[in-house]
Amino acid sequence: MSQAARLQDTQIRRELMDLLPQATFVRNRTIAVLLPCLNEEATIGQVVAEFHRVLPGATVYVYDNNSTDRTAAVAAAAGAVVRRERRPGKGNVVRRMFADIEADLYVLADGDLTYDAAAAGRLIDALVTEQVDMVVGAREGATDAFARGHRFGNWLFNRLVMRLFGDGFTDILSGYRVVSRRFAKSFPASSSGFEIEAELSVHALDLRLAAIEIPLSYRARPEGSASKLSKWRDGARILGKIALMYKAVRPLRFFGALAAVMAAAGLALGLPVAATFVETGLVPRLPSAVLAAALMQLAFMSLTCGVIVDAVGASQREFKRMRYLDLPAPGAPREAQP
């Protein structure tokens, strides 16, 4: 290599280090780039190369989720550490990644070139300087990057999560995130598919973990790359997951709402029967009376379930919080880490 080429290479490396957060911190920490992939042969090589260029000290992991093309081979040729997860679904892959990989910072992205790898430095910088445990890249960009149905579903799920769990995120389904070690190792992932992003967001809201969003550009898939997201099937799965998380995180509200509905129906059926009985001493509509009584019993049972599950949920939340606090913060000295 000529002297001019060496100087140019040194300058490029110096500029890349300037993009990284607090260089001293990063040099003493490990960064893992996590890329779950299914049939991304057309794009994964470029994605891996871009992350290597932007984060030269990071290890890029590609988890192949039963691809039928050359995704694994292309990723390995580009310098990624390739592993496999046989159980289908992005949630299964992310759970395996967080369990298997040891690092101080985790960059979670996709292998389809829709996310800008050059923005990883900004996300890491925000996590370190703001001392948070998760930074979400809120997607912005040309409208053609989203199908109309996907845009509506994304808006609907964001509003629903904000309503049920509180404000904190405007793009709960973004797949571009940076999380700390203590977030990854205390996250009890249960999702199997694309609902994993919603679960990550709700976990942060439930435990009131420090998290922020940074708006980033989002690009359409390049030609030859096809989305694996099914509008109706995966939309239904995400909606069902949000309902299940609401039952687990806000059980008293969930079962209380069911109790209120059943009690209202029981009163609507039972009051006319009771009024007739007061006037005549007879119960002419016995089936209505029995149904009203059954609904009222179910309402009280639902409310009781809500109280019990709420107590259990508080205990589980405390356990997750203690596990989270047992791990060091992103800016803790290296020797303080277990």
**Which alpha helices (DSSP H) does 185-230 contain, by range?**
196-207
Between 24-33, 108-117, 177-186, the lowest mean confidence (pLDDT) is in 24-33
As given in the structure block, the two tokens for residue 62 are 């590609």
Q: Average pLDDT in the 112-118 region?
A: 91
Say if residue 169's pLDDT is above 70. Answer: yes
Mean pLDDT check: name the lowest of 3-7, 75-79, 286-290.
3-7
* φ, ψ (nearest 5 deg) of residue 214: -130, 125
pLDDT of residue 336: 47
- pLDDT at position 168 is 84
Q: What is the pLDDT of residues 28-58, one digit of tens each?
A: 679 999 999 999 999 999 999 999 999 998 9
Q: What is the mean pLDDT of residues 65-87?
A: 94
Banded model confidence at residue 17, pLDDT cuts 50, 70, 90: very low
User: Using an 8 Å Cβ cutoff, are 33 and 58 in contact?
Assistant: yes
pLDDT, mean of residues 58-82: 94
The continuous run of DSSP H or E covering 132 comes out as none
Residues forming beta bridges with residue 59, ordered by sequence position: 32
Are 215 and 116 in contact by the 8 Å Cβ rule? The answer is: no
- pLDDT tens-digit readout, 276-332: 888 888 878 888 889 999 999 999 999 999 999 999 989 888 988 998 988 887 766
Q: Please state the pTM of the whole predicted model.
A: 0.81
What secondary structure does DSSP assign to 8-26, as a single string? HHHHHHHHHHHHSSTHHHH
Angle at 159 between CA 247 and CA 232, to 5 degrees: 80
Tokens representing residue 53 in the block:
């260029």
